[in-house]
């Protein structure tokens, strides 16, 4: 549903009237506070609207940066996206609109980046605010954080690690991943961004006073990877999911190409192969200066995509091969350059081999015919 709000075109979600509104059962707080939520950069974030009045059948999501004033809160606009961020700074995608969606009152942010951090509020077209989030997006760092100043009289920094994931492949060497987010413990947090007696929030939260002077290098998340091996279940059925992608780039190739594994979620173990060659995170991590990367959201990134990247790619979910993707990257819009196609050398070799075989057969037939004719002429002379 679309509506006009202060010369802005905003998108909302409206519940069917014949469906029971389960969200109306939860009473909204009398005083709007912001629930702290922290995620790794690159994952898909879901912010549910946990409460709203029963008579409200549609919701609108509002956004503002942490350091902005309340008057700067604006609706997310422009076809499931917003105009508040610079599209050139959007990670993995130049189309900002494709990264935002509202489904069943929940706000989905695809491949969230640090610029998406801020205050998100579920409300109505009349700017009635129901539920708010204090969203913190942290970049993963392979380096060690300087812990010399993690302890002070005002706060203490620490890293909270998630459990190790399951092995992302079976039958072949795989990897396990665990992420650690930065958190801060303090008695001096902003009361608007915490609940009663709450003393812990993520390091990028708006509850952290500016006087603490936390630097970005000290609030980075951690991503750890280790090798593993798991046997394949004998009853595991083979996957039949097949995808085909044909991409056209300019003469300078595509700047960024992102492949996602169908059905993958941030809490899943995801792996990628090119043909029979595994692509390991330890060799293609986000912290390395490589053209082929696996980000923290389990996406396979090509920076940039080139014609030699064409091929067959497989993705694994929880140790089982889940999808087969055929990728074709063309260097020109509208038409394919024949000489630059990755299968051109093999095609030329096949054509030349077939031509050589046909030529050989032709000469053998002509030679046999000449021999037969010569013998017949000799028989007549005798």
Range in 3-17, 45-59, 299-313 with the lowest mean pLDDT: 3-17
Under a CB-based contact definition with an 8 Å cutoff, are residues 162 and 210 in contact? Answer: no
What does DSSP assign to residue 147? -
Under a CB-based contact definition with an 8 Å cutoff, are residues 137 and 297 in contact? Answer: no
Q: What is the tally of helices (H) and strands (E) in the chain?
A: 1, 24
SS3 readout for 55-111: CCCEEEEEEECCCCCHHHCEECECCCCCCCCCHHHCCCCCCHHHHEEEECCEEEECC
pLDDT of residue 273: 92
Distances (CA, A) of 344 to 196, 248, 341: 67, 17, 5
Give tens-digit pLDDT for 4-30: 333 333 344 455 554 455 555 667 777
Is residue 226 pLDDT above 50, yes or no? yes
Under a CB-based contact definition with an 8 Å cutoff, are residues 35 and 48 in contact? Answer: no
- The pTM score is 0.67
Range in 76-90, 153-167, 188-202, 343-357 with the lowest mean pLDDT: 76-90
Give tens-digit pLDDT for 163-222: 999 999 988 899 999 989 999 999 888 877 776 678 899 988 888 888 887 766 567 788
Range in 41-55, 111-125, 205-219, 330-344 with the lowest mean pLDDT: 330-344
Report all structural domains of the chain as residue ranges with CATH numbers, in order of start: 14-138 (2.60.40.10), 140-232 (no CATH), 240-327 (2.60.40.10)
């Amino acid at each position: 549903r679309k509506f006009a709000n202060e010369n802005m075109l905003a998108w909302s979600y409206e519940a069917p009237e014949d469906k029971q509104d389960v969200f109306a059962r939860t009473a909204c707080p009398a005083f709007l506070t912001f629930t702290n939520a922290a995620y790794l950069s690159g994952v898909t974030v879901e912010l549910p609207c946990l409460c709203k009045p029963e008579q409200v059948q549609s919701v609108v999501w509002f956004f503002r940066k942490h350091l902005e004033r309340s008057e700067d809160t604006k609706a997310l606009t422009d076809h499931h996206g917003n105009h508040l961020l610079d599209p050139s700074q959007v990670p993995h995608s130049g189309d900002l609109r494709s990264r935002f969606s509202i489904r069943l009152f929940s706000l989905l942010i695809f491949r969230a980046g640090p610029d998406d951090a801020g205050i998100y509020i579920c409300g109505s077209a009349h700017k009635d605010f129901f539920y708010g989030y204090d969203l913190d997006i942290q970049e993963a760092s392979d380096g060690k954080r300087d812990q010399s100043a993690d302890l002070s009289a005002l706060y203490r920094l620490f890293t909270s690690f998630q459990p190790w994931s399951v092995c992302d492949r079976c039958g072949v060497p795989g990897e396990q991943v665990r992420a650690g987010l930065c958190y801060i413990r303090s008695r001096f947090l902003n009361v608007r961004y915490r609940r009663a007696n709450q003393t812990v929030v993520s390091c990028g939260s708006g509850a952290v006073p500016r006087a603490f002077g936390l630097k970005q290098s000290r609030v980075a998340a951690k991503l750890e990877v280790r090798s593993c091996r798991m046997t394949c279940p004998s009853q595991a059925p083979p996957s039949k999911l097949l995808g085909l992608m044909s991409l056209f780039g300019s003469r300078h190739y595509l700047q960024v190409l992102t492949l996602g594994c169908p059905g993958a979620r941030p809490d899943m173990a995801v792996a990628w192969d090119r043909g029979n060659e595994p692509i390991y995170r330890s060799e293609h991590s986000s912290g390395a200066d490589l053209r082929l990367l696996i980000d923290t959201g389990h996406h396979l990134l090509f920076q940039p995509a080139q014609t030699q990247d064409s091929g067959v790619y497989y993705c694994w979910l929880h140790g089982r091969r889940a999808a087969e993707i055929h990728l074709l990257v063309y260097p020109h819009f509208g038409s394919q350059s024949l000489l630059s196609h990755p299968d051109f050398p093999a095609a030329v070799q096949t054509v030349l081999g077939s031509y050589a075989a046909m030529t050989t057969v032709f000469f053998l037939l002509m030679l046999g015919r000449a021999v037969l004719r010569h013998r017949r002429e000799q028989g007549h002379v005798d």
